[in-house]
Amino acid sequence: MKKTLIYAHRGASKLAPENTMPAYQLASESGADGIEIDVQLTKDRIPVLIHDENVRRTTNGTGFVQEYTLDYIKKLDAGSWFSTKFSDCSIVTLEEFLCWFKFKPMVLNVELKTNVIEYKEIENIVYEALAKHRMLNRTVISSFNLNSITRMHEINPNVQTAFLTSTKRQNLAKFAKENGSTSLHVKYRLLDKKLLKNCRRNDMSLRVYTINRPSYMEKCFNLGCDGIFTDVPHEAVEYRKKFQK
């Protein structure tokens, strides 16, 4: 059985503010195989790493990412909400992240946050950034919005893509594949043997989110899922040793 890859979800987001450089740095030190990042676009169409469309929850600002230029976004404090220790953290651009990440021996999952706002051209912008840094061969691009997956597949049919979903449906693996997806990223409650079998039959990878509990990790490792997304990569790396050599 192949090892289940461990992706640090928004970085090591239990230990440091999500989607910030300290969270990514801790992820790389944790022994995780990969990092998952969330991408939104600023008003001046710069890809930035933040989970929510609105900056309110994870910064000292308020309002939508798409209403602000990068200049403004960069001035926000993206760490104090988590702990005053991180008050010097700012929102990271995709460019800054890739300049750092490309030297790490890790895989990447870029999640396009297009399920609420369909940022125009985000697929092209992100694709160009990944291509420029020669990251395409170790990156999977995912989205809850199937249009983003289809567009990415049209830009380059060889790019690895993943349809993200928390909704059960008949023949999910086949459906995702027909829409240009090479893998499925599903919420834990959708995971069962049958889904994994269907993924295998359709030559699709299966990765599962968000896996923080040991009992959830155990199920993913025992079934042999291709990957998990976890806020506690350091714990997952230790726990995996019990189940997979």
* DSSP for residue 188: G
- Closest to 138 in 3D by CA, of 94, 91, 98: 98
- How far is residue 134 CA from its own chain's centroid? 18
Site membership for Mg ion, residue 231 (CB under 5 A): no
Residues in the chain: 245
Residues 143-202 that bind ligand G3P (CB under 6 A): 164, 185
Task: Count the Cβ atoms, other than its own, within 10 Å of residue 191.
Answer: 19
**Strand pairing of 92-93 and 47-49?**
antiparallel
Name the closest residue to ligand G3P (Cβ).
209
Q: What are phi and psi of 243, to 5 degrees?
A: -110, -30
* 229: enclosing H helix or E strand: strand 227-230
Rounded to the nearest whole angstrom, what is the least distance from the CB of residue 36 to Mg ion in the complex? 6
Task: Count the Cβ atoms, other than its own, within 10 Å of residue 57.
Answer: 11
Q: Pick from 209, 216, 221, 239 the residue near ligand G3P by CB under 6 A.
A: 209
Site size for ligand G3P (CB under 6 A): 11
Q: Which region, judged by CB under 5 A, interacts with Mg ion, from 15-23, 73-81, 107-115, 148-156?
A: 107-115
Rounded to the nearest whole angstrom, what is the least distance from the CB of residue 207 to ligand G3P in the complex? 8
Helix (H, G, I), strand (E, B) or coil at 143: strand
Rounded to the nearest whole angstrom, what is the least distance from the CB of residue 203 to ligand G3P in the complex? 21
* 184: enclosing H helix or E strand: strand 183-187
Q: Pick from 11, 13, 24, 38 the residue near Mg ion by CB under 5 A.
A: 38
List the x/- string, 13-52, binding to ligand G3P by CB under 6 A. Answer: -----------------------x-x------------x-
Is residue 234 flagged as an active site residue? Answer: no
Is residue 185 flagged as an active site residue? Answer: no
- Closest to 123 in 3D by CA, of 9, 41, 207, 205: 41
Site membership for Mg ion, residue 18 (CB under 5 A): no
Question: Any idea which residues carry the catalytic annotation?
Answer: 9, 51
Residues that bind Mg ion (CB under 5 A): 38, 111
Residues that bind ligand G3P (CB under 6 A): 9, 36, 38, 51, 111, 142, 164, 185, 209-210, 229
